[in-house]
């Protein structure tokens, strides 16, 4: 009569014990088996850019817990120098740029190109013994040149050298400078030509005159030889060179 009651009491106590036990691995009820699995994802070594101009000098190295940074080098594409036009683009072949093509720019027309020419020799002669006369080559800052003659009587007069005037520049608005690298007499004496000295330093060009003369009497002839160089200020080329021979004589 008492057995069912005892069984019922045991079952009731078991149910109470089961409900009171905390969940495994809850705070205070943990052991080594409760630690979760921990792992890092695989690391990928960093690399240099594969774009044009880039090179890898040394790759990334595994240092036990991480990769080092690679050593990279970049070479920019070359460009054409000033005064040229790029007509071919460079390409990267993995170690260097190749294929750059530079074409010299078309040079503007030289303002020193003469339109009428500069003859190298001018003669002014009279058959009259003892006659006096002069001949002057004039180089002007307005871009023109000409030969002026005076003194000899017109009868029997003989002249050489054509044309007797012209231009030495197509743009007289620019500032020019000159040197005289030769100034010597060919026939006569130093007193029959002017100038007799050179001008070796570049000097601003104003009006210049180069004269040969025969004063008559015992000086029958004067011949001057000059070399004149002209350039635009602030430039080194082009240079216009004039080799000049001016000859004046009497009794010829």
Distance CA 42, CA 28 (A): 34
CA atoms of 225 and 217, how far apart (whole Å): 23
Predicted pLDDT of residue 9 = 46
Helix (H) or strand (E) holding 17: helix 3-20
Residues 6+ apart with CB under 8 A from 22: 28, 29
Instruction: State the Cα–Cα distance between residues 80 and 84, nearest whole angstrom.
Output: 6
pTM for this prediction: 0.59
Can you give the pLDDT at residue 223? 96
User: What is the chain's pLDDT, residue by residue, as a tens digit (252 residues)?
Assistant: 444 544 444 444 444 445 566 777 777 776 767 766 666 788 899 999 999 999 999 999 988 889 999 999 999 999 998 878 888 999 999 999 999 999 887 766 788 877 667 778 999 999 988 899 999 999 999 999 999 999 998 888 999 998 999 999 989 999 999 999 999 999 988 999 999 999 999 999 999 999 999 988 778 899 999 999 999 998 898 899 999 999 999 987
Q: CB under 8 Å to 239, separation ≥6 — which residues? A: 112, 229, 230, 231
Q: What are the two backbone dihedrals, phi and then psi, of residue 104, each rounded to the nearest 5 degrees?
A: -55, 135
Q: CA 225 to CA 244: how far, in whole Å?
A: 6
User: How many residues in the chain?
Assistant: 252
Phi, psi angles (nearest 5°) of residue 41 = -65, 160
- Contact of 134 with 147, CB cutoff 8 Å: no
């Amino acid at each position: 009569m008492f057995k069912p009651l005892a069984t019922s009491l045991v079952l009731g106590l078991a149910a109470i014990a089961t409900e009171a036990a905390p969940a495994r691995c809850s705070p205070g009820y943990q052991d080594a088996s409760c630690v979760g699995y921990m792992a890092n994802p695989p690391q990928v070594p960093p690399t240099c850019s594969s774009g044009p101009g880039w090179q890898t000098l040394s790759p990334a190295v595994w240092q036990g817990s991480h990769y080092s940074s690679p050593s990279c080098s970049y070479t920019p594409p070359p460009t054409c120098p000033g005064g040229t036009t790029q007509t071919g683009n460079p390409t990267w072949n993995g170690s260097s740029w190749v294929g750059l093509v530079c074409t010299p720019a078309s040079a503007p027309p030289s303002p020193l190109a003469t339109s009428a020419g500069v003859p190298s020799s001018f003669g002014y002669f009279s058959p009259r013994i003892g006659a006096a006369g002069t001949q002057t080559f004039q180089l002007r800052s307005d871009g023109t040149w000409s030969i002026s003659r005076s003194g000899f009587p017109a009868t029997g007069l003989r002249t050489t050298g054509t044309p007797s005037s012209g231009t030495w520049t197509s743009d007289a608005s620019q500032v020019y400078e000159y040197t005289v690298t030769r100034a010597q007499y060919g026939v006569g004496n130093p007193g029959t030509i002017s100038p007799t000295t050179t001008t070796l330093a570049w000097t601003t060009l104003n009006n210049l005159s180069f004269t040969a003369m025969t004063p008559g009497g015992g000086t029958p002839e004067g011949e001057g030889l000059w070399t004149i160089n002209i350039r635009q200020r602030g430039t080194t080329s082009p240079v216009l060179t004039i080799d000049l021979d001016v000859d004046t004589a009497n009794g010829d």
